Amino acid sequence: MVTPAAPGVAIGGTAQLKATGTYTDASVRDLTSLVAWSSSNGAVATLSNAAGSRGMATGVTEGTATVTAAYGSVSGIATLTVTPALDTLAIAPASPILNPGSTRTLTATGTFSDASIATEAATWSSSNSAVATIDASTGLCTGVGAGTTTIQANVGSTTASVTLTVGPASINRGWNGANTFTPNISGGFGWTRRLN
């Protein structure tokens, strides 16, 4: 039996396949390094039979190929799908700005080797959690304190980053009934100036 049963790999990428055999005594053994691996379409994917890399599939072009693992008169097969490779990754918005305590979800968009574009499930991180935190799986940012932090998105070996800015607390200004201008500064110091 070849596992995974429906393997996938990107163009230029690799995937390790495994072959297992079930014997008459019900025991199961790993035969990955003993079987002969082959691909029905070498233009789509190749399989290695070299020592140390047996069962390693390499994507060549988009499409499908039947992978066969043969051990004597017994064989197992699986259909391998080769998908476009992820060329670049971009984060939106490109220059995010937050206030302390506010939130915003960032998105990662990938451009593939076939020119297609899709939103990717990235792994997120913030270089300075004292400025902003980000949920590693959802991309939800939360402003913590004024400053800047680098937000990074990772999809496999492809990365993208943006600088996120958290501004100071907002300032609300207004006139009071005594003809005195009184700004109210959230988280700061208040002051009053009387106009003559």
Q: Residue 169: its pLDDT value, please?
A: 67
Average pLDDT for 89-109: 97
The amino acid at residue 139 is: G
Gyration radius from the chain CA atoms: 28
pLDDT over 90, % of the chain: 84
Q: Residue 168: its pLDDT value, please?
A: 85
Can you read off the two tokens belonging to residue 30? 């790993």
Q: pLDDT tens across 151-194, in order?
A: 999 998 999 999 999 998 665 544 444 444 444 444 444 444 44
Here the contacts of 37-44 (C-beta below 8 Å, separation 24 or greater) are 37/67, 37/68, 37/69, 38/67, 38/68, 38/70, 39/65, 39/66, 39/67, 39/68, 39/80, 40/65, 40/66, 40/67, 40/68, 41/65, 41/66, 44/80, 44/82
Q: Residue 171: its pLDDT value, please?
A: 52
DSSP 11: B
| Residues facing 76 on adjacent strands | 69
pTM above 0.85, yes or no: no
Q: pLDDT tens across 128-141, in order?
A: 999 999 999 999 99
Q: pLDDT tens across 24-52, in order?
A: 999 999 999 999 999 999 999 999 999 99
**Does pLDDT of 142 surpass 50?**
yes
Q: Residue 187: its pLDDT value, please?
A: 42
Average pLDDT, the chain: 89
Burial class (CB in 10 A: 0-12, 13-18, 19+), 53: middle
For the chain, the helix, strand and coil percentages under 3-state DSSP, each to the nearest 5: 0, 55, 45
62/115 Cα distance (integer angstroms): 13
